[in-house]
Amino acid sequence: MTKIEFITEAIANQYYTVEEAAGHMGVKTPVLRNYLYQDKLTTYKFKTLTLLSKREVEAWNGRNRP
């Protein structure tokens, strides 16, 4: 099961799309989608978009980079 939060307003400077987040994390999109499925990151849904918090992506990078 995935961690999903539905939001009513998406502020561009607070969220990445899945593709953008994958690029910032240095992984391919399917790898990031696996992380989402494994509840490693929170998914935010805004209308038809799947978003990730920039803050959470940056924290992930800090924890998981050598």
Which of the four pLDDT bands, split at 50, 70 and 90, describes residue 1?
A: very low
Neighbour tally for 7: CB within 10 Å = 14
**Residue 45 in this model has a pLDDT that exceeds 70:** yes
Angle between helices 18-25 and 54-64 (to 10 degrees): 30
The whole-model pTM stands at 0.79
User: Which has more confidence, 1 or 23?
Assistant: 23
Which of the four pLDDT bands, split at 50, 70 and 90, describes residue 34?
A: very high
Q: Which domains does the chain have, with CATH numbers?
A: 4-64 (1.10.1660)
Mean model confidence pLDDT for the chain: 86
**Residue 18 in this model has a pLDDT that exceeds 70:** yes
